[in-house]
Structure 1
Amino acid sequence: MLARCYLRASTDEQDAARARDDLERFAAERGLPVASWYVENESGSKLARPELFRLLGDSKPGDVLLIEQVDRLSRLNETDWKRLRAELDSRSVRVVALDLPTSWTLAAPADEFTGRMFGAVNAMMLDVLAAVARKDYDDRRRRQAQGIAKAKAGGRYRGRPEDAERNAAIIKMLKAGQTWATIVMATGASRSTLARLVKRA
């Protein structure tokens, strides 16, 4: 059994690796070897996340997908969450989240009965927390839209300022022929940002 640690933040401005120390400590306390780290800046509301699916592709049956919170794995709508759950189940990957104590038993060997019992409890709790995470996402989006509409009506809305210095550096790296993977690692920018900037390069 190996841990594959997944770290995600929604925007380029956020530090996706912020929780690394907590995950390392959790794994060390349980003698759980960490096979690899998967870090990306992508929205949890999107199913298409390169690092998440690289993790799934690397995983062996019984491996642990270790996350800080369930919302780091999913803010997906119900349809996409079911697709992700099916992918996890088909690969026999165990989801262990620091904010879900019922999942912690899955980070240690157990007999068949105990494993199945806690697996069932954990699956139910994952569904609940994934639904809560999606509701939180929808609520924040609605409040944001209301705030923008109000600001526009008052002539105060100008949108989020662009990080011109970082984007200029990315364009320079693109022109120099650097790979997207290298640029993402060096700058923390998302692939969607690179796709937008490559049109300027």
Structure 2
Amino acid sequence: MKRIRSRTISERIGGFVREWSVPRQVAGQSSATKAAESSMSRGLRPRLEEADTVGTNICPYCAVGCAQLMYAKDGRVIHVEGDPRSPINQGTLCPKGAATLGLMTMPDRIDKVLYRAPHSDRWEEKPMDWAMDRIAHLVKRTRDETFVHKLPDGTIVNHTLGLGSLGGATLDNEENYLIKKLFSGGLGMVWIENQARV
């Protein structure tokens, strides 16, 4: 019994020494060769090999606009990294940008419309079409109730101070141009700002 037990311990120690990379490196094997490999590390494969689709994205966090590569498998994102082709971030991401995968896949992320009626104590799930129609209705109603055609001195202003817009930092110039035209020209908004300038 003692012999079997001691053999097992010696086999374990021998196996550990064979797997441990330090003795191979001390013996003169270069870490550029396979001196640092173990049987476990030889079996590891990068997660990106599983991806069947690679798309591009702009990081949603700030005004810098870092480019990202999004790796997906079966329609689900499995990895996010910086896009090395971008002149802005050249493949790097800050900690917030590197956490984009967690933002997209965390189980607590709300991915449906929740509505709480005035004076209600609970949230209701609503369809997206309902939410878009409600937003349009409330914007029109607020604009109609607060629209000023002329000031008391007769100056024509055609504006409303009852609505405002705060754009996101990842909107491009074309999107900001359209927002400005729609909100100031179409709706008469005066307060139009962008998070990139705040």
TM-score (norm 2): 0.23
Structure with bigger RCO (C-alpha 8 Å, 6+ apart): 1
TM-score (norm 1): 0.23
Query: Which protein is richer in helix relative to its size?
Result: 1
